[in-house]
Amino acid sequence: MAAWYETAEFYHIYPIGLTGAPRRRESDEVVHRMDTLTREWLPHIEKLGCSAIYIGPLFDSTTHGYDTKDYKKVDPRLGDQEDFKSFVEEAHQRGIKVVVDGVFNHTGREFFAFQDIQKNREGSRYQGWYKGIWFGGNTCYNDGFSYEAWRNCYELVNLNLQNQEVRDYLLEVIEFWIDTFDIDGIRLDCADCLDFEFMHQMRERTERKKQDFWLMGEVIHGDYARYIGDGHQLLHSVTNYELHKGLYSGHNDHNYFEIAHTIRREFDENGGIYKGMKLYTFVDNHDVDRLASKLTVKENQIPVYTLLYMLPGIPSIYYGSEFGIQGKKEGGNDDPLRPQLALDELLEQSPYPELMEHIKRLSHVRREHRACFEGRYRELMLTNRQYAFARMSEDDMVITAVNNDEAEAVVSIPVPDGGAQWKEAGSDEQCLLQDGRIQISIPANGAVIIVKA
């Protein structure tokens, strides 16, 4: 039986944004904003069909959440420990797993170990906890010493993950979150910057603690197999940024060859370099522009989400994008990507109401057909504007066809199992099969899913 995370459909929440928490924390006052997530958003997520939530960052911090102040405390702008316990308990009652953000590459300047160095300088026992501590240098904060910062953002101090004392501390933090909140996994921020031995120890410790605990890494560039391939069992999954780009540009450019080439390279049944691996797929997130702002034709959200759900991978929806909301970075400002949202208003006045219903149908098909998440991938038809492929398991097959053209398209698709009877998903009307091919009509900027009758 497949592990829960291999069949999951994720809903991604950036809680500081969604709940309207202030972007800079000015006091230690606890404000119970997480209650809104528990009461309103969890039922919505369940109706969408999502079976898992990635939420974060949650660690106590000062600004955007990635400048950790206290790893064992929920950010008071969101609530307290009991608020998050209630959130996880309610999610579990609804059959939804909960994965949190693990910010282990760096801390904020208010973290206790860094403050001890500020106070005790050469006498601090925590000098070895950070990279590049040098008391002959200085920083923009006039610390009287220098250190290695994440991408030269000096509010984020890089931890020395080759120090076993630091590893042990962070591994104990993870166990604390499992014991206290019963979380089901961790998304590792900046996984491509993390020490491999640290990730190896994390995998061992978490599996002993909770056998089906999931580790997913944020990896933007490079060889994903270094983290999840045979002989490199550090994590269970990583972010598929390579596919992310093609999903929107392939539609904007009327170029399905871009998407198909990526999938062929990654997952083709004959030699795909990531064949059998479960990558975390997405069309937008808290670091990149919203899909509705990247597409030149908003109706192409329908085929894009169809590909997200039907191509190999673990699909993820970023909060609010199921309504087709827009959001673009403003220079280095990510706030437009991370807005406060009122669910009741979106349900009444969605920018693109057809999209959410389409996502629900995709989720239903995916749950009904195991081939969608465990089946082999085979390309069936490809032009610049139309693309069809099959997902095939031993006893099931699902065929997906998408169209990025502004006009309806009639296509003829070869069927690997020519003897079967076929129908459009959600319909009882059978498709015409002739000479081993199905002829179907794909709506303008639309998609059709064909299943065995």
CA distances from 142 to 66, 134, 138, 244, 414 (A): 22, 13, 6, 40, 67
- Mean pLDDT of the region 192-214: 97
Q: Is the pLDDT of residue 241 over 80?
A: yes
- Mean pLDDT of the region 237-246: 97
Whole-model pTM over 0.95: yes
Amino acid 174: pLDDT: 98
**Least confident interval from 30-39, 314-323, 358-367, 420-429:** 420-429
Q: Which of 415, 318, 399, 364 is nearest to 17 (CA)?
A: 318
| Same fold across 4-372 and 375-452 | no
Give the CATH number of domain 4-372.
Answer: 3.20.20.80
How far, in Å, CA of 171 to CA of 321, rounded?
34
Q: What percent of the chain has pLDDT over 70?
A: 99
Q: Is the pLDDT of residue 235 over 80?
A: yes
Express each pLDDT in 247-281 by its tens digit.
999 999 999 999 999 999 999 888 899 999 999 99
Confidence of residue 418 (pLDDT cuts 50, 70, 90): low
Q: Is the pLDDT of residue 412 over 70?
A: yes
Burial of 179 (0-12, 13-18, 19+ CB in 10 A): exposed
Q: Does domain 375-452 have CATH number 3.30.450.20?
A: no
Going from N- to C-terminal start, the domains of the chain cover 4-372, 375-452
Burial of 257 (0-12, 13-18, 19+ CB in 10 A): middle
Q: Which two tokens stand for residue 88?
A: 């996880």
Express each pLDDT in 43-73 by its tens digit.
999 999 999 999 999 999 999 999 999 999 9
Amino acid 453: pLDDT: 85
How far, in Å, CA of 382 to CA of 256, rounded?
7
Q: Which of 232, 368, 317, 236 is nearest to 10 (CA)?
A: 317
- Mean pLDDT of the region 386-415: 96
Q: Is the pLDDT of residue 383 over 90?
A: yes
Express each pLDDT in 118-154 by its tens digit.
999 999 999 999 999 999 999 999 999 999 999 999 9
Amino acid 61: pLDDT: 98
Express each pLDDT in 306-331 by its tens digit.
999 999 999 999 999 999 999 999 98
Q: Which two tokens stand for residue 180?
A: 């206290």
